[in-house]
Amino acid sequence: MFEELDPLLHSQLRLAIMSLLIGVEEADFVFLKEKTNATAGNLSVQIEKLKEAEYIDVEKTFQGKMPRTICRITPKGILAFENYVKTIQTYFNTNNK
Amino acid sequence: MFEELDPLLHSQLRLAIMSLLIGVEEADFVFLKEKTNATAGNLSVQIEKLKEAEYIDVEKTFQGKMPRTICRITPKGILAFENYVKTIQTYFNTNNK
DNA sequence: AATATTTGGTTTATAAAATAAACTAGTTTA
DNA sequence: TAAACTAGTTTATTTTATAAACCAAATATT
């Protein structure tokens, strides 16, 4: 009756990251940190988990002399996100038969 | 930008319990256990947390000789649930400005 | 009538997650 | 050249979720 919620997405910060990435081509570490208000450490850990799951791609580059970490959502990530949204919606409606 | 998700409701089992209770007058332990497929131990713990937060009322009675635990959602619980739903929806739409 | 099993739970222990704090390596500014 | 800042990572701590073990009473079995 209550389908399992993808544990990788059922996390406030990881969901916020995916929410941001689904709307844009790419986003870097600093952007994600500002938008989510996460600490750098927490963000670093959660990005790594999304990457391991292949929900996002992570590219480490340099902008001038400073490091820059760019994230992009993958097709697999889009699917997982859409599925999570659909699944949790079933927890919302009152008529659970 | 991303408002905090009530940690008490951002839990698969507690959300399922609330989802069930919001649709009915009352529900007992056995009913909730069957519908959620939770183990009795997990259900017991999560019911206790929802009760502590005053999101639900818990009444311990007897049906004949057997114990029966009845749960009901409170007005506070309804508000919290509705607010959780509204908040997490903001994580879903692509246009996060 | 004793014993085994089931019911309706609670308590305790363990595993997994989230988060914060501390650290690194390099850069810019005073 | 020392202090402060940037862009992170790693490690440690706290919090959660979950499972396993337990309990008391009721019912079923031999």
Helix (H) or strand (E) holding B62: strand B56-63
Rounded to 10 degrees, the C-alpha dihedral A57/A63/A68/A69 comes to 0
Band of residue B94 on the pLDDT scale cut at 50, 70, 90: low
Distance from CA of B29 to the nearest CA of A (A): 16
Confirm or reject contact between A85 and chain B (CB < 8 A): yes
Render pLDDT for A1-50 as a digit per residue (tens, 0 to 9).
Answer: 899 999 999 999 999 999 999 989 999 999 999 999 999 999 999 999 99
pLDDT score of B1:
83
Report percent pLDDT > 90 for chain B. 92
Cα gap A52→A49, rounded to integer Å: 5
Predicted TM-score (pTM) of the model is 0.93
Max Cα-Cα span within chain A: 59
Q: What is the mean pLDDT of residues B31-41?
A: 95
Cα gap B25→B47, rounded to integer Å: 16
Pairing outcome for strands A56-63 and B27-28: unpaired
Mean pLDDT of chain B: 93
Beta strand residue intervals within chain A, DSSP E: 27-28, 56-63, 66-73
pLDDT score of B93:
78
Residue B78 with chain A: CB contacts under 8 Å: none
Render pLDDT for B46-86 as a digit per residue (tens, 0 to 9).
Answer: 999 999 999 999 999 999 999 999 999 999 999 999 999 99
